Amino acid sequence: MTETPPIDVHLFDVDRIHLVETAEPPLSSADRVARDRVWEAALRANPTLFDGPVVACAGLEHTGPRCVLLSWTRITYRHYALRRVPGAGAKALPSLFVNVLQPVDGGRVVAVRMAPSTAAPGRWQLPGGSVEPPVDGEPLDASALAVQASRELAEELGISVAPRALRLWVVTRGENGSIGLTYRAPTLSEAAVRAGFTAAADAERARGREPELDDVMPVRSPKELADLVGPHADYLAPIVRRYVSGASKVP
């Protein structure tokens, strides 16, 4: 059994989200040099790290019942190296990601395990990933976030769900202030989930790439979740607890 230490993860019920782009806060030249030094050291240790464009959260506030305003900014992944710079960690913006709660028959929810070649080897979490910035003048809005969540589900689990069929279910604030937007998908059978997972993994290998995930496991309780060996994403236990406690019955 994996003993997961308690982490202070906050969950917010949300129906509507409004997004506003802001500029990245400026850094001193000393902080930039220190950040780049930490990033280059991490890259030497793990050459698969990718300094691509990504979205960070610049602020989150409630504007009404179950409504939030999310300010976001464009950065690259090396920005998060600030967390490991003495005296500059507080300047690192919180990460922003989408994930999908995939219910399975029997009152269960799907947990997935990251492959050894990823940045979080062996970690159990929900299918999902970092929010990507829009291109070609497209907006980053609620519809675009649902599209990204739908794409993550298709890429990682081989499950095709139209973005309009995904419902924003809860927002989490966890480690380093990271903000997660959790969407709920329609319920599927375990057989359908496992078939999709196998097909997605086979497709990745056919392209000469290692799949991001190496296992899936439907769980119906925090106890079953705790039995999954390996590290767990900080939000996973609170979300599973929320789902099985009765929130899953909300239409």
Other CB atoms within 10 A of residue 215 CB: 14
Give the tens place of pLDDT for each residue, 83-103.
999 999 899 999 999 999 999
Main-chain phi, psi angles of 170, to 5 degrees: -160, 155
**If you average pLDDT over residues 177-181, what whole number do you get?**
95
**pLDDT value at 156 more than 60:** yes
Check whether 2 has a pLDDT greater than 50: no
For the domain 12-249, what is the CATH superfamily, name and number?
A: Nucleoside Triphosphate Pyrophosphohydrolase (3.90.79.10)
For residue range 219-243, what is the model confidence (pLDDT) as tens digits?
999 899 999 999 999 999 999 999 9
- Tell me the pLDDT band of 47, cut-offs 50, 70 and 90: confident
The percentage of the chain sitting over the pLDDT mark of 90, rounded to a whole number, equals: 84
Where along the chain do its domains lie?
12-249
User: For the segment 6-17, what is each residue's pLDDT rounded down to a tens digit?
Assistant: 456 899 899 899
